[in-house]
Amino acid sequence: NPQPNLMKNLKENFESKYGESPLFYAFAPGRVNLIGEHIDYCGYSVLPMAIEQNILAAVSVNNSGKIQLANANPKYKDFSVSCSEEIAIDRDDPQWYYYFLCGVKGIQEKFGLNHLAGMSCVIDGTIPPSSGLSSSSALVCCSGLVTMEANQKSLSKVALAEICAKSERYIGTEGGGMDQSISFLAEAGTAKLIEFQPLRATDVKLPDGAVFVISNCCVEMNKAASSHYNIRVVECRIATKMLAQARGVDSSRLLKLAHVQMELKASLEEMLALVDEVLHPEPYSREEICKVLGITSEQFSTELLSANTQDMTQFKLHQRAKHVYGEAARVLQFKSVCDSEPADAKRLLGELMNQSHASCRDLYECSCPELDQLVDICLKSGAVGSRLTGAGWGGCAVSMVPSEKVESFLQAVREEYYLPDPRRAAMEKQSLFVSKPGGGAAIFLEE
C-alpha cells in the first residue's frame, strides 16, 4: 500500500469532487533502468527496478455512461468522455488524460467492450513528470488496471503489461515495453531482467553494501511531444534492414536489431564486428538507403518512418547499431556479475554503468549537457558508476553509491549541482533521492 497520507488526501479530494467515496484504489510504480537503455524496442533484454514513487488512482464505478477524470494537481485539467463513443487520442497534444485513455482503449479493445462501465477517477502521483522515470507509462498501466477492474475482467500481469505497452503507442511513442513490464512485474527488494518475446521477468539480486541514488538534472523531456525518441527507433529499424541486406537475409519481415542477430545465429561481438564492416560512420541520406534496400522514396516514408519522423533527412546507422549491440552485451554482463557476486562486484557494475553512459552520450546521442555535468559530479562525489536513465535528452541519472558514502554523496551533489542554481535548488527535494526496488502495480480496497 502506498503512502498513507497520500491516500488520505486522495480520498478527501475524491469525496469533495464527486460527493461519494471511492470503491477501490490502484497504483502503478515508476521505474529506474539500471542498464540497457534504448534497446527494448530493438528486442533486447533490459534491467530495471520499480521505484517507490507511483501513480495512484481513486475510483468509483457507476452507470453514468461517462468516464470522468480529475487530477489532484490543479495544473492538470479535468476531462470527461462518453463510454459509448470511440475514444480519440490526440497525438499532437499529449495531455495527461490521453495517457489514461491509452490504458482504457487497450482494455476496451482486448475484450471488445462496446460499452465501458462508467467511472469517476481522481489521479495523483509522486513520480516527477518528464523526468525519465516513466510517469507516463505508470499512468497508462494504472489506467489499464483500473479499467480492467471496473469492467470486472481479469488478466495476468504479463498480459496487462503487453496490452499497456501496445496501447501507449496510441499517443505516438514507439516504445519497447520495458516501462509497462516493470510497472506490473516488479517485486520489492529485487531488480528484474526483463526479456521480450515471450515477455518474462527474472529476479536480479543487487549487491549488498551499495545503494542506487536518482538525481534529476531538471531538464524536462516528454517523449510524445518531441521526435528524438522515435527518430532513434527509426534509425535502428533502418540499420536492421541494411545489416540483413548485406548478409543476404530477407529483410522484409525484420524490424528489430535483435531479429538480425537471431537470423544470423551470431554473437553480440560478431554483430558489433558486422556493424563496423557494413555500416559507414558518416550519416546516411534517404537516397543511399533507398538504393541499398532497393525501395522507392514512397516505400521509405510509409514502411520505415513514423508519423513524427517524416522530415528526417540524415540517419546515423553505424552509431545507433553499435550502441544497441554493445548495450545488450552490458546488460548480460551486469546480470552475470550480480548472479556470481565476485568480491569486486560494485567496481565491475560501476564500470558497466559508466560505459553505458558514454555509449548513450557519444553513439546514441541521447544525453544533454546538464545530464553529462550531473553524471560527472556524481562520479566525483563518490559514485562507483553513474549514467543517464530513461530516454535521456533530460531527466534523471542513476548512480551506484557504496552505502557508507551515501550521506556525503548526497551532500556533495546537492552543493555542486542543485544549490548554485535557484531553479534547481527549488526542485532539489524531489530531485535527489535514494531508491530501493519497489513492488509492482496493484488494486486495493480501503484499509
> pLDDT tens digit string along 366-385?
999 999 999 999 999 999 99
Q: Which residue has the higher pLDDT, 227 or 260?
A: 260
Residue 3 above 90 pLDDT? no
Predicted confidence band of residue 30 (pLDDT cuts 50, 70, 90): very high
Supply the pLDDT for residue 191: 97
User: Using an 8 Å Cβ cutoff, are 354 and 383 in contact?
Assistant: no
Place of cell 467515496: 21
Question: pTM of the entire structure?
Answer: 0.94
Q: Mean pLDDT over residues 401-430, rounded? A: 96
Q: Which residue has the higher pLDDT, 445 or 358?
A: 358
Supply the pLDDT for residue 127: 92
Kindly write down the DSSP assignment for every residue of 137-206, as one continuous string. HHHHHHHHHHHHHHTT----HHHHHHHHHHHGGGGT----SHHHHHHHH-BTTBEEEEETTTTEEEEEPP
Predicted confidence band of residue 223 (pLDDT cuts 50, 70, 90): confident
Catalytic residue among 40, 90, 179, 339: 179
Report the C-alpha gap between 263 and 106 in whole angstroms. 31
Report the C-alpha gap between 116 and 4 in whole angstroms. 30
Q: Mean pLDDT over residues 117-137, rounded? A: 93
Supply the pLDDT for residue 1: 54
Give me the half-sphere count of Cα atoms (radius 13 Å) on the Cβ side of residue 382: 19
**Angle at 334 (CA atoms; ends 329, 337), nearest 5 degrees:** 125
Q: Mean pLDDT over residues 166-192, rounded? A: 94
Q: Mean pLDDT over residues 233-243, rounded? A: 98
Residue 174 above 90 pLDDT? no
Q: Which residues have CB under 8 Å from 275's CB, separation 6+? A: 239, 243, 318, 321, 322, 325
Predicted confidence band of residue 91 (pLDDT cuts 50, 70, 90): confident
Residue 2 above 80 pLDDT? no
Predicted confidence band of residue 167 (pLDDT cuts 50, 70, 90): very high
**Average pLDDT in the chain:** 95
Predicted confidence band of residue 85 (pLDDT cuts 50, 70, 90): confident
Residue 359 above 70 pLDDT? yes
Report the C-alpha gap between 303 and 382 in whole angstroms. 47
pLDDT digits (tens, 9 = 90+) for 99-113: 999 999 999 999 999
The percentage of the chain sitting over the pLDDT mark of 70, rounded to a whole number, equals: 99
Q: Give Cα 36 distance to the centre of its chain.
A: 11
Does domain 4-30+50-186+438-445 bear CATH number 3.30.230.10?
yes
Q: Name the residue ranges covered by the structural domains of the chain.
A: 4-30+50-186+438-445
C-alpha distances (whole Å) from 157 to each of 1, 116, 118, 137, 220 are 18, 21, 24, 15, 30
276: annotated active-site residue: no
pLDDT digits (tens, 9 = 90+) for 42-54: 999 999 999 999 9
Predicted confidence band of residue 388 (pLDDT cuts 50, 70, 90): very high
Predicted confidence band of residue 358 (pLDDT cuts 50, 70, 90): very high
Predicted confidence band of residue 88 (pLDDT cuts 50, 70, 90): very high
Q: Mean pLDDT over residues 295-318, rounded? A: 95
Residue 111 has which C-alpha cell?
475484450
Residue 398 above 80 pLDDT? yes
Q: Say what angle helices 317-340 and 228-246 make with each other, to 10 degrees.
A: 90
Q: Mean pLDDT over residues 330-352, rounded? A: 97
C-alpha distances (whole Å) from 332 to each of 186, 338, 342 are 19, 10, 15
Q: Which residues have CB under 8 Å from 181's CB, separation 6+? A: 161, 165, 194, 199, 201
Q: How many CB atoms lie within 10 A of CB 183?
A: 33
User: Using an 8 Å Cβ cutoff, are 123 and 379 in contact?
Assistant: no
Residue 281 above 60 pLDDT? yes
Q: Mean pLDDT over residues 345-373, rounded? A: 98
Predicted confidence band of residue 447 (pLDDT cuts 50, 70, 90): low
Highest mean pLDDT among 59-63, 83-87, 125-129: 59-63
Report the C-alpha gap between 193 and 204 in whole angstroms. 6
Residue 221 above 90 pLDDT? no
The percentage of the chain sitting over the pLDDT mark of 90, rounded to a whole number, equals: 90
Q: What are phi and psi of 211, to 5 degrees?
A: -125, 160
Q: Which residues have CB under 8 Å from 356's CB, separation 6+? A: 35, 36, 37, 327, 330, 387
Supply the pLDDT for residue 4: 76
Q: How many CB atoms lie within 10 A of CB 60?
A: 19
Give the alpha-carbon dihedral of 141, 143, 149, 154, to 10 degrees. -40
